[in-house]
Chains A and B, each alone.
Chain A
């Protein structure tokens, strides 16, 4: 079993076997990150380019760490969004990078579909680190890994994904993967944040958070984007926090032992109460640690001779 793909653009097309392979591969890398010498020579001499058109310290750092622990060389490119405005196409930027012999390009871009467009145009492997609202596959995978690490099995697992689902690439990636693995996915949020026809992806929509929490084993909170402009999707933060904020009482109303997840960065006091973020049920920091192992796994699996 191997990953016969040039790129990792989304979780929607992955098979269950491929997802399992990635998670099992990450086990080996989790072990490596536990050593004193957190380095293996597997990607020695390879070049990984982080091409981030949207600012992101945590994801970029995670990929950088993952690549360096594999002994790869890492280059960080953060074109200001103005170069996009000036009309240099994504493809031109990427071809310049490819000409520098980049083996793997990690792309984050504000436009859905950008990673796919890039992958079609370059010979390097492309990893989608987030394209607009579309997908963030490595986040989805590290979320799965974290759930698995906690001893939870996916079949029949009751997972609540809470927040601005319509604009969340993390939500989309998780919905695809969890449904594929047989979990029961509950999407929670105000109707204005539920995209058209999202039930067709295999999830159930709840406008009532408390109802959705009954029996929930995993509570995945999405970040509320306070910086969004234009006509708001909800009247005030106060009302949003009251209806959809995760408090200690709400966590206790879920299945005993339920875990709390968040892709970060968290808005303390808005979608998640500070005491919940710091509680024992929170696996938020584990997600971050697992992110490096998963990304090492993906870099390793995609690094075969192209």
Chain B
């Protein structure tokens, strides 16, 4: 949900850029994993869920194959819970298949410090034992605080720490775009 004044935003990807990035990532996933065998996608709430669904649809179009999809809420695995005055609202985790021995591609919109991905991996491992975990992100904005690397990247966008990147999607009632604004 954007609360910005649109005049403060600087667009870095438009609808076309996003669609092309999603298509390319879908192809890369299929290429690297040589098809859909044992493959599953898990979108990280909330930013990665819609993108994960889009990837599943693209893969369906390319390979005529249905890949299982799950939605993971990482709130309970956050490393800052004991520091916050009020606990963040939980959203449900729905992974309706066994992840053990599968290749799980985690999907998120923006990769920043890497803490969300760390929490997501902890969350996944509590659900089972994947054969492999890969990571697909639409935007990598740098400034990692943990040694985490994305397997598939839509676009590298260098930013300063004070800036904010938002991925706005039409599933949320927004015009499709990725924008940078001052924090």
Contact = CB atoms under 8 A, between A and B. Distances in A.
Check if A and B associate. Answer: yes
Contact of A304 (B87, B122, B123, B128): B87
B87 A2 contact: yes
Contacts of A25: 89-90
Given A3-B86, A4-B86, A305-B85, A41 B77 contact: yes
A37 B76 contact: no
Interface centre among B83, B86, B123 (most CB of A within 10 A): B86
A28 B82 contact: no
A36 interface: yes
A291 to B, nearest CB: 18
Contacts of B86: 2-4, 304
A2 B89 contact: yes
Contacts of A303: 81-82, 87
A60 B154 CA distance: 51
Nearest to B100: A36
B54 interface: no
A35 B98 CA distance: 10
B157 interface: no
Given A42-B76, A301-B87, A28 B93 contact: yes
A303 B123 CA distance: 20
Interface in A1-32: 1-4, 21, 24-25, 27-28, 31-32
B182 interface: no
Nearest to B126: A37
B92 to A, nearest CB: 5
A39 interface: yes
Contact of A42 (B81, B83, B127, B128): B81
A17 to B, nearest CB: 12
Contact of A305 (B77, B84, B126): B84
A31 B92 contact: yes
Contacts of A154: none
A21 B75 CA distance: 15
Given A37-B126, A40-B126, A28 B92 contact: yes
Nearest to B127: A35
A40 B75 CA distance: 10
B90 A28 contact: yes
B92 A37 contact: no
Tell me the dominant secondary structure on chain A's binding face.
loop
Interface string A23-58: 011011001100111011111011000000000000
A304 B90 contact: no
A36 B85 contact: no
A228 to B, nearest CB: 40
Given A1-B89, A300-B87, A304-B84, A28 B73 contact: yes
Interface string B64-102: 000000000101110001111111111111100000000
Interface in B86-142: 86-94, 122-123, 126-128
A39 B126 contact: yes
Contacts of B87: 2-3, 300-301, 303-304
A2 B128 CA distance: 31
Contacts of B84: 304-305
Nearest to B79: A41
A305 B82 CA distance: 6
B79 to A, nearest CB: 9
B70 to A, nearest CB: 12
Interface string B129-168: 0000000000000000000000000000000000000000
B83 A27 contact: no
A51 B81 CA distance: 25
Nearest to A1: B89
A155 to B, nearest CB: 24
A294 to B, nearest CB: 13
A40 B82 contact: no
Contacts of A42: 75-77, 81
12 contacts: A2-B87, A3-B87, A28-B76, A31-B93, A32-B76, A35-B127, A37-B127, A41-B76, A46-B82, A301-B87, A304-B84, A305-B83
Interface of B: 73, 75-77, 81-94, 122-123, 126-128
Given A3-B87, A32-B76, 16 more contacts: A2-B88, A24-B90, A27-B92, A28-B76, A28-B90, A35-B126, A37-B127, A40-B77, A42-B75, A43-B81, A300-B76, A300-B90, A304-B84, A304-B85, A304-B86, A305-B83
